[in-house]
Structure 1
Amino acid sequence: MPHTTPAPEPAAAVAAAVSGDVRSCTRLGSSHAWTLHGGELADGRRFFAKIADGYAEALDSEAAGLRWFAEVSDGAAVPGVLAAGGGALVLEQVDEAGPTAEAADDLGRRLAATHRAGAQSFGAAWPGWLATLPLDNTPADQWPEWYARRRLLPYLRDARDRGFLDSADVAQLERVLARIGDLAGPDEPPARIHGDLWSGNVLWGRGGAVLIDPAAHGGHRETDLAMLRLFGAPHVQRVLAAYDEAFPLAAGWRERVPLHQLHPLLAHVCLFGRSFRSQLLDAARRLV
């Protein structure tokens, strides 16, 4: 686990990161191992910042993912990274509005464009993080084995070792792993995916949807769509329809949704305990 060091004073941390003065900095709360802040820089730009307490690498990873997404000019919108480093991530403030059907259609098309932009391999060139859980982004050429070894097995072992899953639960998940080559569907090239696209990581801004908090990597494009469905998202069916029109999905994608939901559900078990166990096991039962 990362070495825990005292968190820097927020305004000073933001100022150091942006190499400039901060006019105001207000604490907005906390999430996982970091505190959340909003304010204004001396040049008038409004910002949102995360200040890490021992998880600076997680914020650096998030910044890398946001910058990677921003390379796709017609892709899904993300907040601009104003600065990152030293345990601080400073982003452009997103002015939120409300979800609309038109914004959902636009998100579907833009997400398709981001996925089409692709990746060099499955995985990423930077260390991955999902909240405070490290993600192994070691690259690979084949998705089923990569997903099993880099996403499912580490968290299955972690959940077992923490006592959140018993031996019968583990056996149920292992049956899925044994069949993952058959369950994965047709081969797909690596897509440029968000990696943690639940509804809370979609901000509905005045200019459309903005994606935040990525665990970005080269992955399977169905993973992002399955994550949108996991906890429900506004107008999700319109997002999916617009996506499928722009970048048609392979036959059987709906049946593969539980497979792509296994990793986020395992991660939730590791982060929050047995309250997510039944949902995880239900997804596994739908596959085997």
Structure 2
Amino acid sequence: MPQPTSAPSPAAAIAAAASTGVRSCTPLGSSHAWTLHRGELADGRPFFAKVADGYAEALGSEAAGLRWLAEAAGGAAVPEVLAADGGVLVLELVREHGASADAAAELGRRLALTHRAGAPSFGASRPGWLATLPLDNTPGERWPEWYARRRLLPYLRDARDRGFLDSADAAELERVLSRIDGLAGPGEPPARVHGDLWSGNVLWSPEGTVLIDPAAHGGHRETDLAMLQLFGAPHLDRILAAYDEAFPLTEGWRARVPLHQLHPLLAHVCLFGRSYRTPLLDAARRLL
């Protein structure tokens, strides 16, 4: 009788994806649906890896996003993709270092160059992911309509269907949706955005800041800045000031921060439940 085959070890899966041996592989725990590892390839390159069964598309989308962000001349640094195959993503290991005001200012300037690199449209040619949540990246021409249809409505429905938001909560968010054209501010061309730029996805290395875990797409540049402000970031004022000097923000951008924070807050409701309901509704009420 044939015996069931066991899944390869993480080290074996990483070696197969990278087409080379692995000298060492240390588990770092897990995040969402994937396990995390660090180690050294046979050729001496240190690596960081994610391994996930059933989420190959999510890891492939992350790899494509990193490569796309890396194409922005002079833009914010991202780790090199060493391999991406099936449910394995292998990246260069980033050495971390304490944050500094000078590095924060440099991040602001480089992020401006990433955004200036632009995108063909709002959205992307590939499906997106935010952690384990799929993102509808169907391209669109107008940001307010695209943001409402492809970012807010799907997660609002999901949160309501799962009982994390009630009908009164949903009604408040629907009021924002009904006014989104007036709330969105002056029109801007699609920017090349990271898409999940909270402070935990900014690594401070001796060589400068490095951005990880993107949900990259053509979006509104204020989205990345609003995400940095959602959970705070070291030397945030320096980041924003340097960005504004390099790529001046349009009038009223601070009042629009809650609009851009609605999507990540909805995502947190869908991922983690009602604990994020209050900050979500607070953001909506600041817009009404």
- 1:246 alignment partner in structure 2: 246
SS in 2 for 1:257: helix
Deviation at 1:7, TM superposition (A): 6.0
1:187 lines up with 2:187 in the alignment: yes
Tell me the TM-score normalised to structure 1 length: 0.97
Are the counterparts in 2 of residues 120 and 190 from structure 1 also a CA contact under 8 Å?
A: yes
Question: Shift of residue 209 of structure 1?
Answer: 0.7
- 1:231-256, CA deviations, whole angstroms, 9 ceiling, x for partnerless residues? 00000110000000000000000000
Q: Is the 8 A contact 1:127 1:136 kept in 2?
A: yes
Aligned to 1:276: 276
- How far did 1:176 drift? 0.1
Matches of 2:76 and 2:248 in 1, distance apart?
Answer: 17
Aligned to 2:3: none
SS in 2 for 1:255: helix
Bigger Cα displacement from structure 2, 51-60 vs 273-282: 51-60
TM-superposed deviation, 1:53? 2.1
Q: 1:3 — aligned with what?
A: none
Structure 1: gaps of 5 or more residues: 1-5
* Equivalent residue letter for 1:259: L
In 2 relative to 1, CA 21–151 (structure 1 residues): closer, same or farther, beyond 3 Å? same
- Partner residue, 2:258: 258
SS in 1 for 2:200: helix
Contact 1:130 1:215 survives alignment (8 Å): yes
CA distance in 2: counterparts of 1:7 and 1:121, whole angstroms = 40
Give the alignment's Cα RMSD to 1 decimal: 0.8
Residue-pair matches, total: 283
Distance 2:118 2:69 in 1: 10
1:58-207 equivalences under 5 Å are 58-207=58-207
Structure 2 letter corresponding to 1:283: A
Deviations 1:42-74 (A, max 9, x none): 000000000012111100000000000111130
* CA–CA distance in structure 2, aligned partners of residues 28 and 206 of structure 1: 22
Q: How far is 1:8 from its partner? A: 4.1
Q: CA deviation at 1:260?
A: 0.1
Report runs of 4+ in structure 1 exceeding 2 Å deviation.
none
Unmatched 5+ stretches in structure 2: 1-5
Over 3 Å counting, the alpha-carbon distance change for 1:106 and 1:7 in structure 2 is farther
Give me the TM-score of the superposition, normalised by structure 2. 0.97
Tell me the distance in 2 between the aligned counterparts of 1:183 and 1:99: 34
